[in-house]
DNA sequence: CTTTCACATCACCACCCGCTGATACCAGCG
DNA sequence: CGCTGGTATCAGCGGGTGGTGATGTGAAAG
């Protein structure tokens, strides 16, 4: 179906800081300390955003001693990409379908 | 580049009603009246959301007499799809890149 | 010209959301 | 043990955002 895109998943990516986190994680697996250095954000703030990303199913955590590593889940992003591609494709072919004025 | 995804564009898609509008428009070009019927939302509310979609560059308007038709811009969705695909690809290949604990 | 209808804009309010400081929790280390 | 450092959660506050009614505008209809 076309209507299966999850708004919450998109919302999670709609925040600038979260988007930055995602792009950083797309390059390498990092723990919170690294993300604090890279983004300059406070630890609490970052932890909140990471929670959102976690609940959206975008990232996985991997405890490593006292540290917590965050890894992106490529399938989720790939799924999003496919759904947008499907929407684009549908929009392209349906460009001429114009419902009559009532 | 990887960091070029526009948060505002994603935000525009993050709202459930706007997402519904987009999926409807992916099927056929509609005017506001049709969207009111399909979504059950108030005219004012819908007009606000359409404004957001317009400003995000996701839709185009085409006046037709007293009516205003809205059409999706497939290129924008396709671009988003590509960027997410690139992120997914990057995340997949960088799965093992784990920066050392500080 | 006047009315009607489609649509946009404005003003207002309630509510959600992100940021922050304080605090709790847990794993190593001495 | 107790201490230290890395993270998560909590409570609270301010600003941004969505929903709504009133109003403006512009084009067809009569």
Please report, for the domain that includes residue B78, its CATH number.
1.10.10.10
> Is residue B99 included in any domain, yes or no?
no
> Is residue A100 included in any domain, yes or no?
no
Domain count, chain A: 1
> Is residue B102 included in any domain, yes or no?
no
What was the pLDDT predicted at B97? Answer: 87
From CA A61, how far away is CA B97, in angstroms rounded?
15
Q: Is residue B75 predicted with pLDDT exceeding 60?
A: yes
Distance from the Cα of A54 to chain B's closest Cα (Å) equals 16
Using the structure block, give the residue that is written with the tokens 């890894």: A71
Longest dimension (CA), chain A: 65
A95–B88 C-beta distance less than 8 A: no
Category of A40 on φ-ψ map: left (φ > 0), alpha (ψ -120 to 50) or beta: left
Residues 6+ apart with CB under 8 A from B21: B35, B39, B46, B49, B50, B53, B70
A15–B90 C-beta distance less than 8 A: no
Global pTM value: 0.91
Give me A83's structure tokens.
């759904």
Average pLDDT of chain B, as a whole number: 92
> Is residue A93 included in any domain, yes or no?
no
Percent of chain B at pLDDT > 70 equals 96
Residue B31, domain extent: 7-83
Q: Which residues of chain A have pLDDT under 50?
A: 1-2
- Quick count: other Cβ atoms within 10 Å of Cβ A81? 20
What was the pLDDT predicted at B81? Answer: 95
Strand segments (E) across chain B: 30-31, 59-64, 67-72
What was the pLDDT predicted at A14? Answer: 94
> Is residue B1 included in any domain, yes or no?
no
Tens digits of per-residue pLDDT, A75-96? 999 999 999 999 999 999 987 8
The H or E element that residue A70 is part of is: strand A67-72
Distance from the Cα of B29 to chain A's closest Cα (Å) equals 5
> Is residue A11 included in any domain, yes or no?
yes
What was the pLDDT predicted at B61? Answer: 95
> Is residue B27 included in any domain, yes or no?
yes
pLDDT band, residue B98 (cuts 50/70/90): confident
């Amino acid at each position: 179906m076309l209507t299966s895109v999850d708004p919450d998943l998109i919302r999670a990516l709609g925040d600038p800081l979260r988007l930055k986190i995602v792009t950083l994680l797309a390059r390498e697996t990092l723990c919170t300390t690294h993300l604090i250095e890279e983004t300059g954000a406070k630890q609490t703030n970052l932890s909140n955003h990471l929670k959102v990303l976690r609940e959206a199913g975008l990232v996985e955590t991997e405890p490593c001693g006292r540290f917590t590593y965050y890894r992106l889940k490529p399938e989720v992003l790939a799924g999003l990409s496919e759904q947008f591609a499907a929407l684009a494709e549908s929009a392209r072919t349906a460009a001429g379908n114009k419902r009559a004025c009532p």
